[in-house]
């Protein structure tokens, strides 16, 4: 397209930021919000490109950023989410409160990837280096598990995107209702909701029916007990059932999910099957699917948050206190159980959501 790069103007500074530059950037954003990043440097009196300012702000200067050592729970969450989502650091970051995608990416590249490799686990596929899935179940069930996992990951992916968008819109709406002197950027955002499903989303009542743009896709909110039924394509007996607590979120996520499915030709899905997908907090999910949690909860539960049993192998000490990964990793036995727990959760041949 031939457009000019944002940083190719002569005279723009590169390299490490000085405290003075940080101060200027902070002061400007606190007073005016960031507005257009491209226009910001000149307004703030900085000899930097807008991109550089944005990066500095999002990765370092934002007041609600958490820095320093990653906790055991955070490590586990990263590994599990990476197994499901791959190098989608921004998506992973949405599940690690106050961590930036850049920090997570760095941590993965410098610590976690190496640890997995050391154990003979391919950090890309999360399988044993031999190529065989870690575990001993038969191939058919493994393949089915992989397909299910893949679909859960796709759904989670779509959900994360939708949630992110809703969160941004919500923030913008909130900002728009404030006096103009208040910064537009969410520098004073409230603490994120503890639940992986956004707390800002209100429970929804009643039913809805809509048609997707695609001539071969339909989406119908059944309206009974907040369930949603998806027909992927005409003549396809496959039914996708969605359950959720917010019609906008479910609709948006469902659209994305269907597009993904259509683009990928329902790879891994079995025609005629009935699949159930959705957030795992609700009791209905446990009742209907017969598992204790959806993807996010599986992940968080696997992190040892208030869960035991299969999760005990996550390096939890006798008094219930989680050991830090750094300490665990150097110790033979506990290290082994710690990582085998991760593997068990990530590549189990019999995932709970089958």
Interface positions with DNA (CB under 7 A): 1-5, 7, 13-17, 35-38, 48, 50-52, 54-56, 58-60, 87-91, 101-103, 105-107, 109-111, 114, 164
Least CB distance to DNA at residue 318 (A):
28
Cβ-based nearer residue to DNA, 47 or 195: 47
Cβ-based nearer residue to DNA, 4 or 319: 4
Burial state string for 58-78 with b = 16 or more CB within 10 A and e = fewer than 16: eeebbeeeeeeebebbbbbbb
Least CB distance to DNA at residue 77 (A):
15
Cβ-based nearer residue to DNA, 84 or 91: 91
Least CB distance to DNA at residue 239 (A):
27
Least CB distance to DNA at residue 33 (A):
11
Cβ-based nearer residue to DNA, 150 or 286: 150
Enclosing H/E stretch for 107: helix 101-107
Cβ-based nearer residue to DNA, 51 or 241: 51
Identify the bridge partners of residue 121 per DSSP, sorted by sequence position. 128
- Is there a contact between 177 and 170 (Cβ–Cβ < 8 Å)? no
Least CB distance to DNA at residue 47 (A):
10
C-alpha to C-alpha distance for 52 and 175, rounded to whole angstroms: 24
Cβ-based nearer residue to DNA, 3 or 234: 3
C-alpha to C-alpha distance for 200 and 193, rounded to whole angstroms: 8
C-alpha to C-alpha distance for 142 and 351, rounded to whole angstroms: 9
Cβ-based nearer residue to DNA, 185 or 243: 185
Helix (H, G, I), strand (E, B) or coil at 274: strand
Which tokens belong to 269? 């899905």
Least CB distance to DNA at residue 333 (A):
22
C-alpha to C-alpha distance for 2 and 129, rounded to whole angstroms: 43
Tokens 């830090």 belong to residue: 324
Least CB distance to DNA at residue 258 (A):
14
Helix 139-176 and helix 247-263: axis angle, to 10°? 130
């Amino acid at each position: 397209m031939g457009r000019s790069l944002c940083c190719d103007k002569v005279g723009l500074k590169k390299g490490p930021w000085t405290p003075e530059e940080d101060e200027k950037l902070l002061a400007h954003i606190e007073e005016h919000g960031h507005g257009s990043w491209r226009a910001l440097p000149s307004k703030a009196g900085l000899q930097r490109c807008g991109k550089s300012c944005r990066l500095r702000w999002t990765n370092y200067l934002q007041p609600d950023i958490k820095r320093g050592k990653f906790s055991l729970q955070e490590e586990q969450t990263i590994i599990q989410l990476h197994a499901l989502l791959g190098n989608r650091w921004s998506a992973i970051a949405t599940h690690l409160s106050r961590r930036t995608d850049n920090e997570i990416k760095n941590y993965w590249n410098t610590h976690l990837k190496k640890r997995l490799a050391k154990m003979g686990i391919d950090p890309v596929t999360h399988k044993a280096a031999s190529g065989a899935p870690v575990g001993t179940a038969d191939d058919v069930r493994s393949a089915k598990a992989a397909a299910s996992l893949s679909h859960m990951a796709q759904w989670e992916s779509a959900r994360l995107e939708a949630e992110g968008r809703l969160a941004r819109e919500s923030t913008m709406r909130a900002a728009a209702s404030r006096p103009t002197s208040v910064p537009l950027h969410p520098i004073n955002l409230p603490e994120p909701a503890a639940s992986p499903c956004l707390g800002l989303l209100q429970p929804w009542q009643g039913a809805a029916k809509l048609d997707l743009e695609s001539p071969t896709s339909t989406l119908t909110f059944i309206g009974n007990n907040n369930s949603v039924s998806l027909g992927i394509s005409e003549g396809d007996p496959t039914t996708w059932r969605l359950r959720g607590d917010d019609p906008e979120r479910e609709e948006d996520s469902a659209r994305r999910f269907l597009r993904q499915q259509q683009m990928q030709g329902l790879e891994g899905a079995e025609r005629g099957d009935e699949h159930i997908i959705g957030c795992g907090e609700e009791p209905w999910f446990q009742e209907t699917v017969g598992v204790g949690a959806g993807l996010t909860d599986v992940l968080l539960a696997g992190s040892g948050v208030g869960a035991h049993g299969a999760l005990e192998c996550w390096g939890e000490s006798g008094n219930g206190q989680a050991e830090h990964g750094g300490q665990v990793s150097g110790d033979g036995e506990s290290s082994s159980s710690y990582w085998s727990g991760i593997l068990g959760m990530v590549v189990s041949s019999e995932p709970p959501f089958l």
